[in-house]
A and B are shown apart, each in its own frame.
Chain A
Amino acid sequence: MVRFILVRLLGAVVVLWVVSVVTFLIFQLAPALSHTSPVYYYIGKIPFPQDSIQFKALVHRFGFDLPLYAQYWHFLSGILFGQTITDGVSTPIQCGAPCFGYSFRQNQLVGTLLLQAAPVSISLCVGAAILWLIGGVTVGTFSALKPGSFVDRVGMTGSLAAVSLPIFFTGPLLLLVFVYTLGWLPDVSYVPITQDPLQWLRSMILPWLSLAFLYAALYARLTRANMMETMGEDYIRTARAKGLPRRAVVVRHGLRAALTPVVTIFGIDIGMLIGSTVITETVFNLRGLGYLSIQSIQQQDLPVIMGVTIVAAVVLVLANLIVDILYAVIDPRVTV
């Protein structure tokens, strides 16, 4: 068990290292391909003429004249151990680990921007996840209990239709109906839960619904397939033969076994979600991590893009790791 966890941890570290290298290289590519000094991407302007002594001093201060490996180490050690950021004019900023650098365009530490955006994305992901898990598993279970029935056909056709609907179509449609036509919900963006729980709920309902709708469909199909397989097992017949009520057999024996693979996928999807909420956050104007990344790409604010990508990778890798370990604990057949 210890060995298993160690091997997986090592794998996680390797993935994170690869992501850090790839993000760093993208950061290197931008100035090279656009024939613009990296200083421009770093602070958002070219403050001095490019051949002036001040400009060369600035390039040197940021370390852009160092060899590539040294610049990578500067980037990595900044994240791991923190760094001091200075543009040579203002007072230097102490940035403790994990330090993702400084956004000169927004005059904020990238870490601060990430922390401001995180609650929005977390609100979105957690609420949607609860909705789709309940919805998907319920539909999938009822479909599996009577394969070929009306409920099953409606559930499965509906779920296939749902996975064919992009969020950037369902989202605006929901806005159109519930906000602009019926007026049941206010036309506001995110309100923090600490500020006004009711407004928070009202502002999050539509984003939750449109995100959950898509995933619920996938989970309904997954649950149905697993449930149909499980309900054909011998021990289910034994449980029925013992005279257990159908409900108990379905819930305690069937669902419990059928849900193990669903839980695995759930962990992975939650990990992926931070990166995939970009579209939902754009549609509903929520200032979360996805919105932050799109906004910083439009402003060519590379330190922020790198920060968001690395945070998304960390969340993803951690979720994968937790799922792997949990799975090994639950299922004794899993060994390395």
Chain B
Amino acid sequence: MSLSPGELEVVAQSDSLRVGGEQRERSIVGRSLWSIAWRRLKKDRVAVSAGVVIIVLILVAVFADALSALYGQSYLTQHNVGPGSLLDPATNMPLGVLGGISPTHWLGVTPVLGEDILSLLMFGARTSLIISGLATLLSLVLGVSLGLIAGFYRGWVDTVISRVMDVLLSFPTLLLSISLITVLSFISTAETMRFALIIFVLGFFGWPYIGRIVRGQVLSLREKEFVDAARSLGASNARIMVREIIPNLIGPILVYTTLTIPNNMLGEAGLSFLGVGVVPPTPSWGQMLSDAGNYLQIDPMYLILPGLAIFISVLAFNLFGDGLRDALDPKSTR
């Protein structure tokens, strides 16, 4: 990677200016874009807090089983019949205040089935993160490789890939996704199949966005001197793409990733809300919201809790992505 003057920074400046202190020589050290970005990001309190929320969310998703066992409740246990029932037998609504909040069920239980809401939310985080993460990965792989090839080789390859991206971007995506998921579900009704379908649909319709960004960047990068230098040393096209161009794309790719994950979280929740997403008993926040709509007047907590879970998670990713973009942008003044 090339060094530009902006990446050089005077360090130890304050030391050398200290009155009466030991005079030290000013040293000029080259800092990578990454260390500058990292320093900036650490100073951005909002982004740091958002990052902490994201880490907690990931931990909850990964250790959902262990946490659930520790907490002593499983979303698979239904407290809706018999002496252990937590529901009002007349209405099937949770007994007690705020949707049945109690020392054993910290966030209450669901109407009709009497399932523990906190446990549902923890496993819902897992569903949400697995689907949004893998869908983002799929669009990244497709978008980066095709965008790279289009921008690097230009000519007819570029024309074909660009037209495909244009067509995909002018598709009525949501309607086609719903039809595709419905039809392809005939192959198998297994849980993994549903996950794979949702990931495929979200990822496949998402790749043109990153594809366009990458193509644009590559078009300008391929004309840079360091590419000429690598070529004059005898580097192959593949080596130039992987070793010279891709490292320069990591910034925009990172920002894209942190801003696409929340979009896909909303996508998964939306599909599950519409009934074409994750199938019960696999918990999903969107599915909980859809169910909560039926008991809106009697048990509003059932709506508010999964709604807040989505809101906090998506907002954390958005805030972190925003902070990351500012930190990586050499023009920003922060």
Contacts and interface: CB of A to CB of B under 8 A. Distances in A.
Interface of A: 11, 14-15, 18-19, 22-23, 26, 29-30, 33-34, 160-161, 163-166, 168-169, 172-173, 175-176, 180, 272, 274-276, 278-279, 282-283, 293-294, 297-298, 300, 305, 308-309, 312-313, 316-317, 320
The 4 closest A-B pairs by CB, nearest first: A169-B307, A33-B186, A312-B172, A275-B172
Contacts of B322: 160
Contacts, number: 123
B319 interface: yes
A161 B316 CA distance: 10
Interface residues of B, number: 43
Nearest to B290: A168
Interface of B: 166-167, 170-176, 178-180, 182-184, 186-187, 262, 266, 269-270, 273-276, 286, 289-290, 292-293, 296-297, 300, 303-304, 307, 310-311, 314-315, 318-319, 322
Given A278-B174, A297-B276, 17 more contacts: A29-B184, A160-B315, A164-B310, A164-B311, A164-B315, A169-B303, A169-B307, A173-B307, A176-B296, A176-B297, A176-B300, A180-B297, A282-B274, A305-B179, A316-B170, A316-B172, A317-B170
B183 A33 contact: yes
Contact of B274 (A33, A180, A294): A294
B255 to A, nearest CB: 15
Contacts of B276: 297
A126 to B, nearest CB: 19
A229 B183 CA distance: 47
Nearest to B174: A275
A283 to B, nearest CB: 7
A298 B172 CA distance: 19
Contacts of B183: 26, 29-30, 33
Contact of B178 (A23, A166, A283, A293): A293
A169 B310 contact: yes
11 contacts: A15-B166, A33-B187, A164-B311, A164-B314, A164-B315, A168-B286, A175-B296, A275-B174, A283-B293, A297-B178, A308-B175
B202 to A, nearest CB: 15
A166 B310 contact: yes
A163 B180 CA distance: 26
B157 to A, nearest CB: 19
Contacts of B304: 173
Contact of B170 (A22, A279, A320): A320
B186 A30 contact: yes
A168 B187 contact: no
A252 B208 CA distance: 36
Given A14-B167, A169-B310, A294-B274, A278 B178 contact: yes
A198 to B, nearest CB: 25
Given A26-B183, A274-B172, A283-B293, A168 B270 contact: yes
A320 B170 CA distance: 8
A175 B300 CA distance: 11
A29 B286 CA distance: 27
